[in-house]
Structure 1
Amino acid sequence: MSRSARPLRLADMSANKELVNTYLDGFRTNDHAKILSCLADDIRWTVFGHFFLTGKDAYDAAIDGPDFVGPPRLDVVRMVEEGDTVMAELSGWAPQKDGDPVRMSMAEVFVIRDGKIAERRAWVIPLAENDFR
């Protein structure tokens, strides 16, 4: 297997990618303290088509969302980094109140400042039929 095809190991990750992975682990376990520890106090969170908020208190209140019934499954498809920005392509699903999980594809941009996520920009696409629709 070539180096480029080898899965990324934790030892191969930059500090910014490790930060994003720690943040995602917080979401996977619904660990608010872990999530918030990764954020700048003036965090800006945009989920395009849904909401924009700023500040840790607003972020904390929005972590679970209105239909939260359990943490999501989030799988990193790929992660790329340029300067202070990490882009993650994710796939996953989240449990819903009606019992049927919603599957989704996500693109997330994390802007990092002084070792904390200062901005998160997300595009979340629900998938009902297959891996692309």
Structure 2
Amino acid sequence: METYIEGFRQGDHRMILGCLTDDVVWVLHGYRELRGKEAFEREIANPAFEGRPSLTIEGLVEEGDCVVAFGRGRAAFTGGRILDFVFADAFIFDGPSICRLETYQVNVGGDGEG
């Protein structure tokens, strides 16, 4: 999970994708559901954003094959608008790899759109 988050901080898609099973499911609640590494990669290469996000993990809860990370972040839209948000990501593991990710995000400030 830490490697996955660090991959986002560094903008390293290979690092992120290396943490996932081939048939990973990513549920972005209130937005969409993605299936497979190709769909995952298209989402993390989203042209609506530029640069690397700032991500701070404020807490972790672990039980069995699930780790939930609570935190906050900041990202820049292409063109410079800023998005501040809080999130909870539930990572479900199949062995050492993430097979399912449930993302709950609330946009809380900046000048981004909700």
Deviations 1:69-116 (A, max 9, x none): 111100000011000000000101001123231100001000001110
Q: Does 1:101 align with 2:82?
A: yes
Partner of 1:62: 43
Partner of 2:4: 23
Deviations 1:27-75 (A, max 9, x none): 1111010000000111000111111010011111111224121111000
Q: Distance in 1 between matches of 2:3 and 2:32?
A: 23
Which of 77, 95, 106 is the aligned partner of 1:114? 95
Q: Does 1:74 align with 2:55?
A: yes
**Secondary structure at the counterpart of residue 72 of structure 1:** strand
Q: CA RMSD in A?
A: 1.1
Q: Which runs of 5+ in 1 are unaligned?
A: 1-19
Please tell me the residue identity of whatever aligns with 2:67.
V
CA contact (8 A) 2:47 2:78 kept: no
Alignment length, in residue pairs?
110
Q: Which runs of 5+ in 2 are unaligned?
A: none
Q: Distance in 2 between matches of 1:53 and 1:65?
A: 13
Q: Which runs of 4+ in 1 moved over 2 A?
A: none
The answer to which structure has the higher helix fraction is 1
Q: Which has the larger radius of gyration?
A: 1
The answer to which structure has the higher strand fraction is 2
Q: Report the TM-score when normalising by structure 2.
A: 0.92
Q: Distance in 2 between matches of 1:119 and 1:25?
A: 18
**Secondary structure at the counterpart of residue 101 of structure 2:** strand
